Structure 1
Amino acid sequence: MNLFLHFQNLQYLNLSKSGRTVLGAVLEWIRNRELSDVHIAGCNLRGTLTKFTKPDSLTFIDLSDNHFTPGISNFFRKLSSLQNVKISNNQLKFDITKITLPSWLSSLDLHSNLLFGSLSRIMNGQIRLNLKLLNVAGNRITGQLPSSISNLFRLETLKYLQKPDNRHNSYQFRITTEVVMLRPVHQWDNLLGIEQLRHANFRANKFCGEIPQGRPFNVFQAATYAHSLCLCSKPLPPCKRKKLEKKGQHEEGPA
């Protein structure tokens, strides 16, 4: 602890993987400093999320791979300058529709928690103007992908996989989404036109139907859609109905 007293102007701090014994001695010091980047991932921390007494300076925080539990609803309230958040792989359980996020946020990684609710509030708030990465995989979020996702003009990376259904093998996932066999997966149409989207992962879901044929879907690799229920069309094999229609036209010949 005495060592840190000499670093009054410290802005970047990375104590990830240091363990509770080491971190416990300086945690109170961290809370009271005007830090911009804080990394305390994998330190076996428990309880509610750390509260910072001087939050305005914080722009990047990584609290992933700990054991934080509910208490996130007020965590972001005063972190007005926060741009990058990584609180993945914890035990956070809350309704994501009730959380207020900083408007400058560009990266939000909350994967592998116990989140529930809808993503609609994230899509409609001021955050939509800056968000580039959204990772809510491995949670309990339900419902269709909101149509307002098209508001995320700068979105580059989207990960939306759900927790596995324990009654099935590791490739079986459940989401409460209605799709129509061999018709466009209409909830994905909301992503059409988000030209900045470069990375997405729809693997191992129960999606079924024709993949929309427009950017960004037709430029993703086939692995993006692997182990889904019955997706078809580029970059996967053609839909069977299209094959039949094409065959029928060929047999009829030109008029």
Structure 2
Amino acid sequence: MDNSKTTTLLLFMFLFTLLLTTSLSKDLCHKDDKKTLLKIKKSLNNPYTIISWDPKDDCCSWVSIECGDATVNHRVTSLDISNDELSAQIPPEVGDLPYLQTLIFRKLPNLTGEIQPTIAKLKYLSFLWLSWTNLTGPVPAFLSQLKNLEYINLSFNDLSGSIPSSLSLLPKLGFLELSRNKLTGPIPESFGSFQGQVPDLFLSHNQLSGSIPKSLGKLDIYRIDLSRNKLQGDASMLFGANKTTWSIDLSRNMFQFDLSKVKVAKTVNQLDLNHNGITGNIPVQWTELSLQSFNVSYNRLCGRIPKGGDLQRFDSYAYLHNKCLCGAPLQSCK
């Protein structure tokens, strides 16, 4: 190879390396987002999880952070701080990340205080996960202002008060998880008329009381868990042969209704009714179900357990302590 070709090749390689280096070193992070994130870090007392955040680096490369593409000018779209012993409250500055779509504070046992009201400023927020913390106060009604919310998980906290009826106004909500708190009062009547799709409902391990709104029976809920509350009355409206329900857990409440005429959707895979005051017998139609988990113990059921399907696949513990159930896997009927 002659000298001119060698020189040209070396020059090309130099320019390519320079271009690549310049591209990699370019700070994509918006300066306002970086300032806000550094304030959040300070408010959280520089926790170990995000101690590596260095103002000299591109914040889009920081751990626990994701940025959008060029269409949103590489603004911060996700903040996920989890699994840390930090002692603080949710920083109010989270509301100053205007393009945030995902906000996660999870498994932070020393995170205290109420859910920060500045979250109401996050108009693009679609995913909110605040769980396994020591957050107190109410489930905030301002969440209903965030019309892009698709997922809300506030489980395993110390939240109290009633469930805001305005949550039913969220047009895109597909998942609502409020389990393992200290919530009181009834299930909102408005939950029978969600503005958009019908979300999966997880309200277990609270202190909810009263009857289930009848309007809730008109909905086709894929997964619903109302277990371990103080709910009472008729819950049969939640069932229906023409629905697409996959999982239903009503265990450890005070429901009273006749099970004899209850038809369950063939899609049901998990069914738990234990520790209630349910009467009647187990319908033969239930032999058509493909069940992964099943429990009707501690009720007032009577009659022969229908043979067939998966009903005999479960041991006696799924049927114990009823008034007069008999047949496999219990004792034979006389």
Mean CA deviation greater in 212-221 or 188-197: 212-221
**SS at 2:119's partner residue?**
coil
CA shift, 1:207, in A, is 4.7
Q: 1:124 to 1:6 in 2, by over 3 A?
A: same
Q: For 1:61 and 1:86, locate their aligned partners in 2 and report how far apart those are by CA, in whole Å.
A: 6
Work out which of the residue numbers 135, 138, 141 in structure 1 matches 2:205: 138
Cα RMSD after superposing both structures? 3.3
Range 46-55 or range 137-146, more displaced: 46-55
Question: 1:229 Cα shift?
Answer: 2.2
Change (3 A) 1:205 1:53: closer
Instruction: Specify which of 5, 12, 21 is matched with residue 78 of structure 2.
Output: 12
SS in 1 for 2:79: strand
Change (3 A) 1:223 1:241: closer
2: CA distance between counterparts of 1:139 and 1:37? Answer: 26
Provide the C-alpha distance between the structure 1 equivalents of 2:296 and 2:100, rounded to a whole number of angstroms: 42
Q: After the TM superposition, which residues 1-255 of structure 1 pair with which residues of structure 2 at under 5 Å, given as runs?
A: 1=38, 3=54, 6-7=59-60, 9-20=75-86, 27-33=91-97, 34-43=99-108, 44-50=110-116, 51-52=118-119, 54-96=121-163, 98-101=165-168, 102-127=170-195, 129-153=196-220, 155-163=221-229, 175-178=230-233, 186-193=234-241, 195-207=243-255, 209-210=258-259, 212-216=261-265, 218=286, 219=289, 221=291, 223-231=293-301, 235=311
Q: Secondary structure at the match of 2:294?
A: helix
CA distance in 2, matches of 1:222, 1:143: 30
Unaligned runs of 5+ in 1: 164-174, 179-185, 244-255
Secondary structure of the residue aligned to 2:156 is coil
CA shift in 2, pair 1:211/1:204, >3 Å = farther
Matched letter for residue 188 of structure 1: S
Q: Shift of residue 111 of structure 1?
A: 0.3
Query: How far 1:205 sits from its partner (Å)?
Result: 4.1
**Cα offsets for 1:212-238 (capped at 9, x unmatched):** 442236336384334332345664779
Give the TM-score normalised by the residue count of structure 2: 0.56
Conserved? CA contact 2:184–2:208, under 8 Å: yes
Shifted more, 214-223 versus 31-40: the winner is 214-223
Check conservation: 1:20, 1:45, Cα contact below 8 A.
Answer: yes
The alpha-carbon deviation at position 70 of structure 1 amounts to 1.4
What is the Cα deviation at residue 143 of structure 1?
A: 1.8
State whether residues 205 and 227 of structure 1, in contact with CA within 8 Å, keep that contact through their aligned partners in structure 2.
no
Q: Runs of 5+ in structure 2 lacking a partner?
A: 1-37, 39-52, 61-73, 269-285, 312-317, 328-334
Q: Quote how far apart the aligned CAs of 1:241 are.
A: 9.2
Q: Which has the higher strand share?
A: 2
| Maintained 8 Å contact 1:73/1:99 | no
**How far apart are the structure 2 equivalents of 1:207 and 1:190?**
12
